[in-house]
């Protein structure tokens, strides 16, 4: 079932069907047993806030692209949402404050950074404020300053190259980087050191193959059918058996940040959700790369109910083998630029030749440039703007998709889709 709260001519009837009694209704409060996955649109990169069935919280990424780049303020990129009265990390925290379970401490149990790009963990610039710990406030550093993080998980810093090595940092690919990954990492390391002393923050690299690193912290025995499976990190991939892994890359072999992204699968009963940062699967000539991260992780991810689009739906992602293998009922695109999605990506993820059955696609934003180029094919999206919330019920047997207003600080419901049955 789908209801558009703005356009339905049967407004009152639709609200009754949804159990909503008035315009501007808020998302019903999280309850124990619900798994909530909020894809937050700030216009500055990825951020997904999750509440596990026992109330444990996880933030995946905290994108914060610099406002000093012409790219960021051009029509190619999304606007800062809902307005410019706060920074992107401040809006992330404001969002979390609205939806975090009210009966527990105001803190994040876990934060996971998929990789070290600005639209995933932040970017320093001349406009950033300085925190008491001496680091610039951007991305996850600002989130963690405003709201304590108990455990911060990233991909580490030593493999396949040691990012803390001065010789590595002086290489042209880093010293000439217009987006300042190494300078931002230096602020990140200051943040970790300061917050470790101040609030006891723990920092770890993702342990591929494990299910005991990100776990329910409040009432774990109440939900034995819930788990977080670590799939990939640094090109190290879980084999699907025990905690065994293998690596696509050798020491010193660095192909950029995207293929090193952390990927996890969340399982709740029969429900499965996958998110994997910016990995890709299409080579420079537009062909399926069978040696890519997408091709290697697809078999161990397996079919899922919901998946985020790798690399925001960029043209180098969602290769046919990957799409056919994970075959989600729902695709979610976390977007910020007119480059996304690639039209060929849209053709692949909607192809009934790659896998049968229905599938729904949601995007946090769709830029006018993409609309001008792709045109009517974008009508296949169920929603092209707003925060996207996946709410899973009944021990993982059913779920709904809510679209929340990203232009409003109240984040009222704009549409509801479902119920979907897990497969």
Q: Is 377 helix (H, G, I), strand (E, B) or coil?
A: helix
Q: How many CA atoms lie within 13 A of 266 on its CB side?
A: 25
For 153, the enclosing helix (H) or strand (E) is: strand 149-154
Strand partners, 38: 49, 389
The structure tokens listed for 61 are 């990424």
Is the Cβ–Cβ distance between 75 and 124 less than 8 Å? no
Query: Can you give the pLDDT at residue 231?
Result: 98
Classify residue 122: in a domain, yes or no: yes
Scan for tokens 């990390």, then name that residue.
Answer: 89
Distances in whole angstroms, Cα of residue 420 to Cα of each of 217, 269, 358, 359, 401: 28, 14, 11, 11, 9
Is the Cα torsion angle 221, 111, 55, 383 positive or negative in sign? Answer: negative
Residue 199 lies in a domain: yes
Least Cα distance to 228 among 48, 421, 52 occurs for: 52
Q: Report CA dihedral (213, 218, 222, 223) to the nearest 10 degrees.
A: -40
Element (H, E) at 308: strand 306-308
Give domain status of residue 221, yes or no: no
E strand or H helix that includes residue 367: none
Classify strands 108-112 and 149-154 as parallel, antiparallel or unpaired: parallel
pLDDT of residue 2: 53
Residue 236 Cα distances to 53, 249, 250, 290, 404, angstroms: 29, 8, 10, 16, 36
In this predicted structure, what is the pLDDT of residue 289?
Answer: 97
177 domain residue, yes or no: yes
Q: Is 160 domain-assigned?
A: yes
Question: Which H/E stretch holds residue 121?
Answer: helix 118-121
In 3D, which of 207, 209, 237, 361 has the Cα closest to residue 299?
237
CA-based max dimension of the chain: 66
Q: What span, in angstroms and rounded, lies between the C-alpha atoms of 192 and 196?
A: 6
3-state secondary structure (DSSP) of residue 139: helix
Query: pLDDT per position in the chain (423 positions), as tens?
Result: 555 544 433 433 444 344 443 357 999 999 999 999 999 999 999 999 999 999 999 999 999 999 999 989 899 999 999 999 999 999 999 999 999 999 889 999 999 999 999 999 999 999 999 999 999 999 999 999 999 999 999 999 999 999 999 999 999 999 999 999 999 999 999 999 999 999 999 999 999 999 999 999 998 899 999 999 999 999 999 999 999 999 999 999 999 999 999 999 999 999 999 999 999 999 999 999 999 999 999 999 999 999 999 999 999 999 999 999 999 999 999 999 999 999 999 999 999 999 999 999 999 999 999 999 999 999 999 999 999 999 999 999 999 999 999 999 999 999 999 999 998
- The answer to whether residue 328 sits within a structural domain is no
CA 117/CA 245 separation, integer angstroms: 25
Residues found in the chain: 423
Helices and strands, counts by H and E, the chain: 12, 19
In a domain, 395, yes or no: no
Q: How far apart are CA 124 and CA 169, in angstroms?
A: 16
Is the separation of the CB atoms in 401 and 414 below 8 Å?
no
Cis peptide before 160 (omega within 30 of 0): yes
List the structure tokens of 38: 């909020």
Residue 140: per-residue pLDDT: 98
Backbone angles phi, psi at 272, to 5 degrees: -135, 140
The answer to whether residue 416 sits within a structural domain is no
Provide the 3-class DSSP secondary structure of residue 176: coil
Please measure the distance between the N-terminal and C-terminal CA atoms of the chain and give it in whole angstroms: 17
Q: CB-based contacts of 221: which residues, under 8 Å, 6+ apart?
A: none
Q: Give the residue numbers spanning the domain of 103.
A: 36-207
Q: How many domains does the chain have?
A: 1
Q: What Cα–Cα distance (Å) separates residue 147 from each residue in 59, 95, 212, 283, 297?
A: 11, 12, 24, 40, 33
How far CA 330 is from CA of 227, 352, 357, 366, 398, in Å, comes to 20, 14, 11, 17, 13
């Amino acid at each position: 079932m789908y209801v558009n709260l703005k356009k339905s001519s049967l407004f009152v009837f639709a609200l009754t069907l949804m159990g909503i009694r008035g315009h501007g209704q808020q998302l019903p409060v999280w309850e124990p047993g619900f798994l909530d996955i909020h894809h937050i649109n700030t216009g500055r990169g990825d951020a997904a806030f999750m509440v596990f069935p026992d109330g444990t919280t996880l933030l995946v990424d905290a994108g914060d692209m610099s406002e000093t780049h012409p790219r960021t303020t051009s029509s190619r990129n999304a606007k800062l949402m809902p307005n410019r009265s706060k920074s992107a990390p401040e809006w992330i925290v404001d969002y979390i404050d609205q939806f975090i379970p009210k009966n527990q401490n105001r803190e994040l149990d876990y934060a996971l950074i998929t990789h070290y790009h600005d639209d995933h963990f932040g970017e320093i610039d001349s406009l950033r404020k300085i925190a008491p710990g001496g680091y610039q406030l951007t991305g996850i550093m600002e989130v963690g300053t405003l709201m304590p993080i108990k455990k911060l998980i990233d991909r580490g810093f030593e493999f396949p190259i040691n990012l803390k090595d001065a010789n590595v940092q002086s290489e042209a690919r880093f010293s000439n980087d217009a987006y300042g990954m190494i300078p931002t990492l230096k602020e990140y390391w200051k943040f970790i050191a300061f917050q470790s002393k101040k609030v006891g923050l723990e920092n770890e690299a993702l342990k591929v193959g494990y299910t005991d690193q990100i776990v329910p912290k409040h009432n774990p025995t109440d939900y034995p059918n819930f788990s977080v499976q670590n799939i990939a990190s640094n090109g190290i991939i879980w084999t699907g058996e025990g905690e065994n892994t293998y690596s696509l890359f050798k020491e010193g072999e660095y192909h950029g940040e995207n293929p090193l992204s952390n990927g996890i699968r969340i399982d709740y009963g029969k429900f499965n959700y996958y998110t994997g940062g910016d990995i890709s699967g299409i080579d420079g000539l537009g062909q399926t790369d069978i040696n890519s991260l997408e091709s290697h992780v697809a078999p161990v991810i397996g079919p899922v109910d919901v998946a985020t689009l790798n690399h925001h739906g960029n043209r180098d992602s969602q290769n046919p083998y990957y799409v056919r293998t994970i075959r989600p009922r729902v695709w979610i695109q976390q977007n910020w630029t007119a480059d996304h999605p690639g039209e060929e990506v849209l053709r692949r993820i909607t192809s009934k030749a790659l896998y049968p059955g229905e599938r729904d696609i949601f995007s946090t934003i769709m830029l006018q440039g993409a609309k001008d180029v792709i045109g009517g094919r974008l009508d296949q999206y169920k929603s092209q703007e707003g925060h996207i919330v996946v709410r899973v019920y009944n021990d993982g047997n059913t779920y709904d998709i809510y679209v929340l207003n990203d232009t409003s600080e109240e984040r009222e419901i704009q549409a509801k889709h479902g119920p979907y049955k897990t497969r």
